[in-house]
Amino acid sequence: MARKPKPWAGRFREPTERLVEEFTASIGFDRKLASHDIAGSVAHARMLKKVGLLAAGEARKIETGLKAIEREIEQGKFVFDPADEDIHMAVEARLIKKIGPVGGKLHTARSRNDQVATALRLYLREAVDEMVSGIEALQLALAEKAKAHLKTVMPGYTHLQRAQPVSLAHHLMAHWEALERDRARFADCRGRINVLPLGAAALAGTSLPIDRKFVARELGFASVAANSLDAVSDRDFVVEFLATSALAMTHLSRIAEELILWCSAEFGFARLPDALCTGSSLMPHKKNPDAPELVRAKTGRVIGDLVSLLTVLKALPLAYNRDLQEDKEPAFDAAETLSACLAVTARCIEGLEVDKVRMAEAAGAGFPAAVELVDRLVEVGVPMREAHGIVGRLVRSCLDKGVGLADLDPKELARHHKALASVKPEELSAEASLAAKRSTGSAAPAEVARQVRRALRRAKR
């Protein structure tokens, strides 16, 4: 049988069985919300004083007590007891123990339903800010690496087959762009997180003269939830955070996969420093890219976090249901996982040692400027489809001979089309293909350099 009487024990004839007490308790994980719960309570107490529901002395005692509890938690002196159910009841119980029955006035015009939603919003508001700085740090690592590799030519791929040359800078900045959208999505969902539920009470509001706008101002919320039922049952803001995190993780997994491929002997494009890799317990020669591998795998966890919460919410009737307690672990897990993965990915990008020679060889092999040859024919009026066919036949004859385009002599080129007679071998290199690009957003070195400059300028602000 349970040891402590519950604050809600009045209408119960018997205490909670320990099995149920332990099964329903959330204090094992929602203790992470302690500081947010206390911040919410301090604001609530100040408001109760402002509207005359607490005397000045009572409010002062409550606030001092709450601050002391916060210190106990920070110093590891606070006892987290499953009999208290959750962090919200644990803090309140401790407050009453510390300051006496006046502590029992704190829960005036409030329910755990609006209290828990408030604490979670405060937590996620901070988490969003942390994710945004983690994204910015990774973007900076990408832009700096790109700056160092504006001239490093590598194959661009489609279908993982060599397609057209790009620069490593262009490639890295593609990941920068995806992260930029993640950053914007986090900033956008912050606006919908930053709404105050407190004052909705259990579900229907209160007959007491509370001032919700005052509480919103105290806690830095931009507005007050407009519907008390929605205020306690809405978890869209968590779903948005999880969806944004899952997408950001998906982007990180694509970077991770490329790092793993590039560090393989088959690609040989790059190495990760020893300090960022781990070895094998059996094979003495191994050096494994475990860090990016785990980033790739943890993406599954965060996608799972999103799916878990959507499944909890599906068909859940209004307003609060205990099901909603299952919102917290996915939220914490996604925030902690994404934050760690952003930091690890940034270190891998910073530390990445690129084999420029190997990249350039791969970019130059075969037919790097095939598309430029088509463009050359188009410029003299050959319809694109015809030009495509001409260069295609040229490529086929190279394949038959086992040579590249740059190995063909001018006579051979002229046989396929007279406009190709003047094409020099050096115009068929990977570097020449890059230099020939001129469209906005293309692999053209000047275009990529401009994007890198813009990214670095943004980072310095």
Choosing from 159, 281, 285, 439, the catalytic residue is 159
Contacts of 440 (CB under 8 A, 6+ apart): 447
Measured from the CB of residue 326, what is the shortest distance to ligand ARG in angstroms? 8
Total binding residues for ligand ARG by CB under 6 A? 9
In this complex, which beta carbon is closest to ligand ARG, that of residue 86 or of residue 372? 86
Measured from the CB of residue 329, what is the shortest distance to ligand ARG in angstroms? 10
- Segment near ligand ARG (CB under 6 A), from 73-81, 108-116, 136-144, 303-311? 108-116
Tell which one of 86, 92, 182, 258 touches ligand ARG (CB under 6 A).
86
- Per rule CB under 6 A, is residue 235 in the interface with ligand ARG? no
Quick check: helix, strand or coil at residue 164? strand
State both tokens at 166: 């790009």
330 and 351 Cβ atoms separated by less than 8 Å = no
Measured from the CB of residue 133, what is the shortest distance to ligand ARG in angstroms? 28
In this complex, which beta carbon is closest to ligand ARG, that of residue 296 or of residue 328? 328
- Segment near ligand ARG (CB under 6 A), from 110-118, 181-189, 221-229, 249-257? 110-118
Cα(354)–Cα(359) distance, integer angstroms:
8
Measured from the CB of residue 137, what is the shortest distance to ligand ARG in angstroms? 32
212 burial class (0-12, 13-18, 19+ CB within 10 angstroms)? buried
235 and 313 Cβ atoms separated by less than 8 Å = yes
Measured from the CB of residue 104, what is the shortest distance to ligand ARG in angstroms? 17
Number of Cβ within a 10 Å radius of residue 147: 17
Tell which one of 325, 345, 433, 451 touches ligand ARG (CB under 6 A).
325
- Per rule CB under 6 A, is residue 112 in the interface with ligand ARG? yes
Question: CA 445 → CA 421, 433, 448, distances in Å?
Answer: 27, 11, 5
Cα(87)–Cα(202) distance, integer angstroms:
17
Among the listed residues 400, 416, 349, 386, the one whose alpha carbon sits nearest the alpha carbon of residue 169: 349
Site string for ligand ARG, 135-154 (x = CB under 6 A): --------------------
Cα(235)–Cα(116) distance, integer angstroms:
11
In this complex, which beta carbon is closest to ligand ARG, that of residue 3 or of residue 322? 322
End-to-end CA distance of the chain: 59
Q: What Rg, from alpha-carbon coordinates, does the chain have?
A: 31
- Segment near ligand ARG (CB under 6 A), from 49-57, 245-253, 307-315, 321-329? 321-329
- Segment near ligand ARG (CB under 6 A), from 74-82, 210-218, 322-330, 339-347? 322-330
- Per rule CB under 6 A, is residue 116 in the interface with ligand ARG? yes
Site string for ligand ARG, 360-399 (x = CB under 6 A): ----------------------------------------
Among the listed residues 128, 116, 111, the one whose alpha carbon sits nearest the alpha carbon of residue 33: 116
Contacts of 333 (CB under 8 A, 6+ apart): 301, 302, 305
In this complex, which beta carbon is closest to ligand ARG, that of residue 6 or of residue 213? 6
In this complex, which beta carbon is closest to ligand ARG, that of residue 203 or of residue 340? 203
Tell which one of 77, 159, 322, 461 touches ligand ARG (CB under 6 A).
322
Tell which one of 16, 41, 113, 345 touches ligand ARG (CB under 6 A).
113
Catalytic residue status for 388: no
Which conformational region is residue 353 in: left (phi greater than 0), alpha (psi within -120 to 50 degrees), or beta?
Answer: beta
267 and 354 Cβ atoms separated by less than 8 Å = no
- Per rule CB under 6 A, is residue 26 in the interface with ligand ARG? yes
Tell which one of 142, 324, 342, 349 touches ligand ARG (CB under 6 A).
324
Q: Which long-range contacts (CB under 8 A, 24 or more apart) does 57-63 make?
A: 58/102, 58/105, 61/99, 61/102, 61/103, 62/95, 62/99, 62/102, 62/103, 62/105, 62/106
- Segment near ligand ARG (CB under 6 A), from 15-23, 37-45, 177-185, 318-326? 318-326
125 and 193 Cβ atoms separated by less than 8 Å = yes
Choosing from 133, 223, 264, 280, the catalytic residue is 280
The set of catalytic residues is: 159, 280
* Binding residues vs ligand ARG (CB under 6 A): 26, 30, 86, 112-113, 116, 322, 324-325
